[in-house]
Amino acid sequence: MAEKILDRFKLDGKTALVTGGGQGIGQAYCFALGEAGAKIAVVDINTTVAEETAQALTKKGIEAIAITTDVTKEDEVIKMVKTVIDKWGFLTIGVNNAGMGVWRDALTQDFAEWRKILSLNLDSIFLCSRTEAVEMAKKGYGKIVNTASMSAHISNTPQNQAAYNSSKAGVLHLTRSLAAEWAPKNIRVNSISPGYTKTALVDKLLETPEGKTMLPKWLEKVPMGRMATVEDLQGAVVYLASPASDYATGTDIIIDGGYCCW
């Protein structure tokens, strides 16, 4: 007889790293995984927010470290995973979440900006997943959770953001491709696609003159009539990181208040 259902969501004895873990969605993921029992490496390019988050986790009785990493740099990603292995000996869960968005008409987007968005939102997911999977394969078990977006499924309106949408669609198919490739190694690769979620990233955009006109237009298209909170996303990451989802791989959980239904 299998363990009781809630026990299969527990992450005791597991280790997790979360990129972009210093704020926003990534920070909420750190708390969710930590509260479920995992030791947490908070990875961020911003050392201050990574350390503050690690300290807040520690205060709650969760074992945590901060790692400063630019996830677009291969040598830094290799160092990131090595830091976890040196500290805890193994990596069970990799949550590849760091990302950025820019509103830009494609006709005026220069190639450098396109590359920057693709580099952070898609290239880094490959770099992190591959480097994490090398260690997971040694142990014969691993869980990778990538942050995609509802923008992987639809083209947002009224703002134009072809680079962002394309990068996130790439995350979905990379997730499926790696899932099929690594299933024989007992490594699951899944993604979460949030809808509009209240975080610093979105708040900054909404403060601009263009942004101020945006929110009511967005909410008209969200059947649930509100943005997500970061807490709305926490259950999915625990599910995908835990043994409860051991038969799920290559799948994407859309949490968008129904946006993609219309």
Ligand X SMILES: NC(=O)c1ccc[n+]([C@@H]2O[C@H](COP(=O)([O-])OP(=O)(O)OC[C@H]3O[C@@H](n4cnc5c(N)ncnc54)[C@H](O)[C@@H]3O)[C@@H](O)[C@H]2O)c1
Residue 197 binding ligand X, by CB under 6 A: yes
CB burial of residue 151 (10 Å; 0-12, 13-18, 19+): buried
Residue 242 CA to residue 178 CA, distance in Å, equals 18
Residue 252 binding ligand X, by CB under 6 A: no
Among 35, 52, 70, 74, binds ligand X (CB under 6 A): 70
7 to each of 3, 10, 61, 62, how far by Cα in Å? 6, 5, 20, 18
**Nearest by Cα to 13 from 236, 246, 245, 242:** 242
Q: Between residues 24 and 250, which has the closer beta carbon with respect to ligand X?
A: 24
Residue 99 binding ligand X, by CB under 6 A: yes
Q: Between residues 23 and 242, which has the closer beta carbon with respect to ligand X?
A: 23
Terminal-to-terminal C-alpha distance of the chain = 42
Among 196, 218, 239, 259, binds ligand X (CB under 6 A): 196
Active-site residue flag, 164:
yes
Active-site entry in 14, 39, 143, 168: 168
Residue 228 CA to residue 247 CA, distance in Å, equals 27
Q: Which helix (H) or strand (E) holds 253?
A: strand 252-255
Among 131, 147, 234, 242, binds ligand X (CB under 6 A): 147
> How far apart are CB 196 and ligand X at their closest, in Å?
5
> How far apart are CB 44 and ligand X at their closest, in Å?
5
Active-site entry in 124, 129, 143, 149: 149
Q: Amino acid letter at 251?
A: T
Can you give the binding site for ligand X, defined by CB under 6 A? 19-20, 22-26, 44-46, 49, 69-72, 97-99, 101, 120, 147, 149, 194, 196-197, 199-202
Active site residues per annotation: 149, 164, 168
